[in-house]
Amino acid sequence: MTTISLRKQNTRLPPEVNRVIYVRNLPFNITSEEMYDIFGKYGAIRQIRIGCNKDTKGTAFVVYEDIYDAKNAVDHLSGFNVANRYLIVLYYQHAKMSKKFDQKKNEEEVAKLQEKYGVSTKDK
């Protein structure tokens, strides 16, 4: 109902709002069916990607068909309690995510160079 009223008012959305949302602090054993049950209440979902690596466990990406459905989900599900864990629901921002991965790559490269040249970061 609120998404229809947002469209009728022709409201201008902030620039960070998009159809892709990033969810953190998920229970590790959550299934895709449970994710569809939780997030599907706010609109048609195009895709859900649940993290399964050691680094990405407890996170997911949810892609909605409509930007207003994604906004509604972020507004209502931030802080939602699932299996005694409070969800952190954010809009996906490509620039921030790529910086995080670039930083990991840089740290790995520095570690390799330190190992190659026998340099340690510990104070003597």
Nearest to 24 by CA among 77, 72, 94: 77
Phi-psi region at 87: left, alpha or beta (left = phi > 0; alpha = psi -120 to 50): beta
- Provide the token pair at 123: 């104070």
Contact call for residues 48 and 60 (beta carbons, < 8 A): yes
Distance of alpha carbon 78 from its chain centroid, rounded? 12
Asked if pLDDT for residue 35 goes beyond 80, the answer is: yes
Asked if pLDDT for residue 61 goes beyond 90, the answer is: yes
Lowest mean pLDDT among 24-33, 35-44, 46-55, 87-96: 87-96
Contact call for residues 58 and 24 (beta carbons, < 8 A): yes
Asked if pLDDT for residue 124 goes beyond 50, the answer is: no
What is the pLDDT at residue 2? 55
- Give the global pTM: 0.69
